Amino acid sequence: MIRVSVVGGSGFTGGELIRLLAYHPEVELVQVTSERLAGMPVSTAHPNLRHMSLSFTSAEQLAPVDCLFLCLPHGQHIARYTEFQGIAPKTIDLSADFRLNTPEAYDQWMNIDHPLGHELQNWVYGIPELNREALKLSPHATGAGCNATAVVLGLWPLAQAGVIGDLPVITEVKVGSSEAGAESQASSHHPIRSGCVRSFQPTGHRHTAEIEMILRPYGVTRVDLSATAIDMVRGILATSHVYLNQTLDWRDLMGIYRDCYQQEPFIRLIANRSGQYRVPEPKYLAGTNFCDLSIHWDARSNRVVVLSAIDNLMKGASGQAVQCFNLMHGLDETTGLTFPGLSPV
Amino acid sequence: MIRVSVVGGSGFTGGELIRLLAYHPEVELVQVTSERLAGMPVSTAHPNLRHMSLSFTSAEQLAPVDCLFLCLPHGQHIARYTEFQGIAPKTIDLSADFRLNTPEAYDQWMNIDHPLGHELQNWVYGIPELNREALKLSPHATGAGCNATAVVLGLWPLAQAGVIGDLPVITEVKVGSSEAGAESQASSHHPIRSGCVRSFQPTGHRHTAEIEMILRPYGVTRVDLSATAIDMVRGILATSHVYLNQTLDWRDLMGIYRDCYQQEPFIRLIANRSGQYRVPEPKYLAGTNFCDLSIHWDARSNRVVVLSAIDNLMKGASGQAVQCFNLMHGLDETTGLTFPGLSPV
Amino acid sequence: MIRVSVVGGSGFTGGELIRLLAYHPEVELVQVTSERLAGMPVSTAHPNLRHMSLSFTSAEQLAPVDCLFLCLPHGQHIARYTEFQGIAPKTIDLSADFRLNTPEAYDQWMNIDHPLGHELQNWVYGIPELNREALKLSPHATGAGCNATAVVLGLWPLAQAGVIGDLPVITEVKVGSSEAGAESQASSHHPIRSGCVRSFQPTGHRHTAEIEMILRPYGVTRVDLSATAIDMVRGILATSHVYLNQTLDWRDLMGIYRDCYQQEPFIRLIANRSGQYRVPEPKYLAGTNFCDLSIHWDARSNRVVVLSAIDNLMKGASGQAVQCFNLMHGLDETTGLTFPGLSPV
Amino acid sequence: MIRVSVVGGSGFTGGELIRLLAYHPEVELVQVTSERLAGMPVSTAHPNLRHMSLSFTSAEQLAPVDCLFLCLPHGQHIARYTEFQGIAPKTIDLSADFRLNTPEAYDQWMNIDHPLGHELQNWVYGIPELNREALKLSPHATGAGCNATAVVLGLWPLAQAGVIGDLPVITEVKVGSSEAGAESQASSHHPIRSGCVRSFQPTGHRHTAEIEMILRPYGVTRVDLSATAIDMVRGILATSHVYLNQTLDWRDLMGIYRDCYQQEPFIRLIANRSGQYRVPEPKYLAGTNFCDLSIHWDARSNRVVVLSAIDNLMKGASGQAVQCFNLMHGLDETTGLTFPGLSPV
């Protein structure tokens, strides 16, 4: 059994990690920390885990383990970097602290003068479909942004195939309220947040930095992203508009996606052209590690609309972190991630 | 024009009052107070009123008017009683501060030693269907609790007719999130409150005090109320179970309700026994002052199930307050309250 | 009083028209037709109108009136054109039958060989902000598509100002379930439609034809539209991405919008840069005829993101039809359309 | 491996069974039938199962297996009784066809003259917490009604302890839209069903028959049940009001529940009196086989309010059927039923 602990376990990604790791057949979940809830059962924060006897502990009491998951608010890992270094030979950080690969990007997109810029190259960007081999070898993985994961997985095959034209890609993500975290805010007050369709980031979304970090090396000029909060708790649907640099039809495009993703256990390409379920829908992905994709070609504009859906807390955070963990420990990539989702839901 | 001001206008009942009074054809809305937002446009708190130029003022700047509406948190009217006495000859208080008619009731249900117990008899309980004539004559009206309004209007004809048996009445209210007010709380955080079916008051709900204050004089033994929060912003549906003291069938019961309510402009009895819309549904009442009612007789148990639905911020608060205002000023009771609600919605 | 009737009153736009016309101070609502529900009260289809005594009649029994509103399914007005010609001197058609201005457009976008192509020029496209003077003079107005209305009102000032560049405009509309009409379908079954984020028209949406009909004369190359159904009943939020042909900042752009819309009673420009309510949100527009707009400038891409929100059944259909009606009859444009919407909701 | 097939696999309970059985470690899922979708992949009906290659078959092609699950509409098992008899030595029927134990009950509650009344005693009512030993020995189990399961599990300890008084028990169930099945109906049209709080069965609910069948032998006089449809897809919350025949306080009552349920793997008693999560909430049970319970004592009325929540498709249908299956085949009762549910959700 691989011994693991979770730092920062009272939030949403922490809760998902506890759920996944407690039921993971190759894992012993040793400790889960929360300074605020130390001594209390994990179900104080995560009511789905009512039957579990595990309690939160303080980070000061962390015992050595094989792998440490960090679910701290952005900035805290940087601030407490040395504190966690001796705990475990392998670390997986779900925050944004080591996601970007240059200090300049932190400066530009997050307005941060990153004090550990020299460490950035040591953290593998944790999307296995992009970096599988690197993850197998690395002691350090960094989680990818949830919106970035949805967008990048949607565009990756086109970028790899070199068919994206010079025009900027425009992507609109529809997101749920869990993306903003477990802390209550004025904007998350139910009478205000319920039923809302609120564009909270029409321009300037930070995940753009990650998306362009990945795609620019493949010739993508720019990705212009807008984000709209809708009445949903979990889930992301990204609608990406790509103008091609050559004439391709739907079959050509599906060929590109199939070539790229046919071996991927967590990517499902939707090719149905009849029936009810012809597009990715985030609700059917709740609790799963799948990314569902469909592509729609518009002859009029030589444009492809790519739809990609994930559960932001799973493939967009904790599920993908466990997928990375499996790779980093030589396990089958799907171990502990087999829940297929519910329907109806 | 009747000049009115609203004290405490940044909350939900305050917002509804502004909306109603600003469009009321016989009213000049003079001032709306909020200490926190003084100087800001009312649309800072109420985005539906974006086109209005009115701004909040401080309560210290209140000018004399004909009628003052108080939308303060419970307890503040008691604490600041003299402050508001010189402002207007007529006052309508939407809080619970003067709802119960004896200091003993405040002691029992709210754990309050009411310092103005001698004043309680001067405030008319503001449900016009019960107290129309008293309201016409009184300078002081107190709002009724939203849940109490729904339950009392549902049971009133049976109580009047003396047909309720000795067994306790059980009523279960399903309520929306606006009932808890405009302040964000941990329990109102969208990821937690969305989709919830949470029994927040299975026993001991304070509105029981009002309901029994009204119904006990008519021989009702006790009302046992439970309240469940559901994923809804506005609206109440009360399901009340009444065991009769005599054998009556549906037609008899409908006769009792028709006799009681046939002249009421805001009570709609639903008698449809076919079609889609045979029961009261709160969503069709959003923004209206209606109370919709239907009754369902169970021969097996000689029980009648009474369904009553209202908009908690309208007939349960601000709409009913304007209805009282109309009566207190000799206006047609429906003035300014004619919005019929939306469908679909 | 202006005497009006509504043909096809059992659907959603018909229901809204009944609500608006029954409370319109200058209108006598004479008849409302439904073949399926002839003889039944209008509340059979529209539960919000439970207190009204009006019943549906058959179209065969239509009496002459001053103005006729047609809310028939697409294609039926074409098929029954002569049937309605003698009923009223003025007609307002809410269907798509006379929206496009050339037979070629019907052929291209709707796959229809329009048999009354010579009549198309006689129908004024019913967006008053674009065609106010023409509407005042015309006996025939055609409703605009709901999504087209949202998108066009968002882009109109930029098009007028000639600042839209050569790149295609991309717009993503988030829409509610009422857009698909009152007939139940497999895809509208609640367990499936609830919580959904379903891209029902990633490419090829018919409203594109209207949008381009309006904007191409102003140099807009193309509008690429995608539409996503979300868990909402009423409402549209359009997110439009426009690349400019010159460098303008937010103030410049706001100037363009203010110049264009400052006299418009139903356009609200949102300029707040602090506070909770900085963007258009469809939920606050339910039941109103407002179109709320905000603009967001991205220096990085010289792109403006325009957000426009409406109630699809009001400004997107029946409300706008009444606005046209008011103009066509010399009334104040806002008559009968003053409901300001609810908050919270 | 135990070989099983599912008859009637295109509906909601069928879909859940496929999901559970396909991932059940001791089961080989051989066939799933649907006459309408024969030949199509199961994901045509169940989009969560997109990655599965299994296709529907016709019931005519059923091969012999060890256990047959029947998910047919009510009445079809009766009509096709002999058709299924040779397929498998063990059968689990999820319909209501063999739930009640006397023909008289079918006559009274379902208005059916049951042609196989003599068979009724051969079917064990499939709530393991009540009938565990009988299920271990029986080749035939019948699913329990979803609402009945929630109510019965909530009241069972009190009934066993003999503390329920003579007054009728009143229970109000709040239910989601999946309870009505996969077929689209006028009442399930999203614009109508969304946001609804609709009392669809204020009196006369058929599940009353099951509840009283179980509880009357323990001295319960009558259970008066009302059911309200709310805006939820999965889940039931039952609020049951019980007047006691002796004075007991909360600790006494918790003792009764703990004695009854302490060994039960799927019953979670909630005893928290602080924190956010003090009551059962159906949303945290989606996809799980848990029944969460809490009890609330009202000294004023010597009444206990029992709250019980389940997922209607899991503990209320397919999950409980698999629990029965495990018992009938000598497996650990929780096999294949360990998904703990999600939070937030």
Give ipTM to 2 decimals. 0.96
Q: Are residues D161 and D291 in the same domain?
A: yes
The reported pLDDT for the residue numbered D273 is 84
Measured between beta carbons, the chain C residues lying within 8 angstroms of A196 are 281, 283
Q: Percent of chain D at pLDDT above 90? A: 98
Mean pLDDT, chain A, integer: 97
| Record: contact B305-D226, CB cut-off 8 A | yes
pLDDT one-digit tens code per residue, A172-210? 999 999 999 999 999 999 999 999 999 999 999 999 999
Q: Percent of chain B at pLDDT above 70? A: 100
Mean pLDDT, chain B, integer: 97
Measured between beta carbons, the chain D residues lying within 8 angstroms of C195 are 233
Q: Are residues A166 and A304 in the same domain?
A: yes
Task: Determine the structural domain holding residue D28 and report its residue range.
Answer: 2-143+317-328
pLDDT one-digit tens code per residue, D63-89? 999 999 999 999 999 999 999 999 999
| Record: contact C177-D190, CB cut-off 8 A | yes
CATH of the domain at B49: 3.40.50.720
Split at pLDDT 50, 70, 90, the class of A110 is very high
What's the mean pLDDT in D216-234? 97
Instruction: List all residues of chain B from 213 to 272 with a beta carbon under 8 Å from chain D.
Output: 222, 224, 226, 228, 230-232, 235, 237, 239, 241, 243
pLDDT one-digit tens code per residue, C193-207? 999 999 999 999 999
pLDDT one-digit tens code per residue, D158-206? 999 999 999 999 999 999 999 999 999 999 999 999 999 999 999 999 9
pLDDT one-digit tens code per residue, B261-314? 999 999 999 998 889 999 999 999 999 999 999 999 999 999 999 999 999 999
Kindly state whether residue C338 falls inside one of the protein's structural domains: no
How far CA A121 is from CA of A98, A101, A116, A145, D45, in Å, comes to: 9, 6, 10, 17, 46
Name the strands in the sheet holding A198-201, side by side, starting at the edge strand that comes first in the sequence. A198-201, A223-229, A169-175, A236-243, A303-310, A291-298, A267-269
Of C168, C192, C309, the CB nearest to A301: C168
Kindly state whether residue D333 falls inside one of the protein's structural domains: no
Measured between beta carbons, the chain C residues lying within 8 angstroms of B16 are 342
pLDDT one-digit tens code per residue, C138-194? 999 999 999 999 999 999 999 999 999 999 999 999 999 999 999 999 999 999 999
Measured between beta carbons, the chain C residues lying within 8 angstroms of D179 are none
Work out whether the CA dihedral D254, D257, D263, D267 comes out positive or negative.
negative
What's the mean pLDDT in B38-47? 97
Q: Are residues A321 and A239 in the same domain?
A: no
CATH of the domain at C227: 3.30.360.10
What's the mean pLDDT in C300-327? 98
Interface test with B, best of D197, D221, D243 (most B CBs within 10 A): D197
Q: Are residues D169 and D203 in the same domain?
A: yes
Chains in contact with B, where contact means 3 or more Cβ–Cβ distances below 8 Å, are A, C, D
Q: Is B301 an 8 Å CB contact of chain D?
A: yes
Q: Is B190 an 8 Å CB contact of chain A?
A: yes
| Record: contact A190-B189, CB cut-off 8 A | yes
Q: Are residues D18 and D93 in the same domain?
A: yes
pLDDT at A273 over 90: no
Q: Are residues D159 and D304 in the same domain?
A: yes
- Rounded to the nearest 5 percent, the helix, strand and coil shares of chain C are 35, 20, 40
pLDDT at C123 over 90: yes
Q: Are residues A115 and A191 in the same domain?
A: no
What's the mean pLDDT in D204-221? 96
**What is the total count of domains within chain A?**
2
Q: Are residues D119 and D22 in the same domain?
A: yes
The two most distant CA atoms of chain B are separated, in Å, by: 62
pLDDT one-digit tens code per residue, B96-141? 999 999 999 999 999 999 999 999 999 999 999 999 999 999 999 9
Interface test with D, best of C183, C190, C200, C231 (most D CBs within 10 A): C190
The reported pLDDT for the residue numbered D211 is 98
Measured between beta carbons, the chain C residues lying within 8 angstroms of A231 are 230-232
CA distance A19 to chain D (A): 8
The reported pLDDT for the residue numbered A343 is 98
Measured between beta carbons, the chain D residues lying within 8 angstroms of A286 are 342, 345
Kindly state whether residue D47 falls inside one of the protein's structural domains: yes
Kindly state whether residue D337 falls inside one of the protein's structural domains: no
The reported pLDDT for the residue numbered A261 is 98
Tokens matching residue C160: 């007028």
Q: Are residues B163 and B32 in the same domain?
A: no
The reported pLDDT for the residue numbered C208 is 96
Q: Are residues B105 and B180 in the same domain?
A: no
Of B176, B183, B184, the CB nearest to A188: B184
Split at pLDDT 50, 70, 90, the class of B27 is very high
**A274 burial via Cβ count (<10 Å: 0-12, 13-18, 19+):** exposed
3 state DSSP class of D293: strand
Mean pLDDT, chain D, integer: 97
Kindly state whether residue B94 falls inside one of the protein's structural domains: yes
pLDDT one-digit tens code per residue, C240-276? 999 999 999 999 999 999 999 999 999 999 998 889 9
Model pTM?
0.97
- Strand D236-243 with D169-175, pairing: antiparallel
| Record: contact C277-B44, CB cut-off 8 A | yes
Name the strands in the sheet holding C291-298, side by side, starting at the edge strand that comes first in the sequence. C198-201, C223-229, C169-175, C236-243, C303-310, C291-298, C267-269
Kindly state whether residue D344 falls inside one of the protein's structural domains: no
Tell me, letter by letter, the H, E, C secondary structure of C139-186.
CEEECCCHHHHHHHHHHHHHHHHCCECCCCEEEEEEECHHHHCCCCCH
Kindly state whether residue A335 falls inside one of the protein's structural domains: no
Nearest to D6 by CA among D78, D62, D83: D62
pLDDT at C281 over 90: yes
| Record: contact D48-A182, CB cut-off 8 A | no
* Contact status, residue A151 vs residue A236, Cβ threshold 8 Å: no
The pair phi, psi for residue B93, each rounded to 5°, is -105, 120
Taking CB atoms and an 8 Å cut-off, how many pairs form between chains A and B? 57
| Record: contact D305-B226, CB cut-off 8 A | yes
Kindly state whether residue B340 falls inside one of the protein's structural domains: no
The reported pLDDT for the residue numbered C132 is 98
B324 catalytic per annotation? no
What's the mean pLDDT in B19-27? 98
- Strand D90-93 with C236-243, pairing: unpaired
Q: Are residues D95 and D183 in the same domain?
A: no
Q: Are residues C10 and C104 in the same domain?
A: yes
What's the mean pLDDT in B241-250? 97
| Record: contact C185-D184, CB cut-off 8 A | yes
Nearest to C235 by CA among C297, C307, C178: C178
Taking CB atoms and an 8 Å cut-off, how many pairs form between chains B and C? 97
**A299 burial via Cβ count (<10 Å: 0-12, 13-18, 19+):** exposed
| Record: contact C343-B281, CB cut-off 8 A | no
Point out the catalytic residue in the list A146, A260, A291, A324.
A146
Q: Which phi-psi region, left, alpha or beta, contains residue D317 (left: φ > 0; alpha: ψ -120 to 50)?
A: alpha
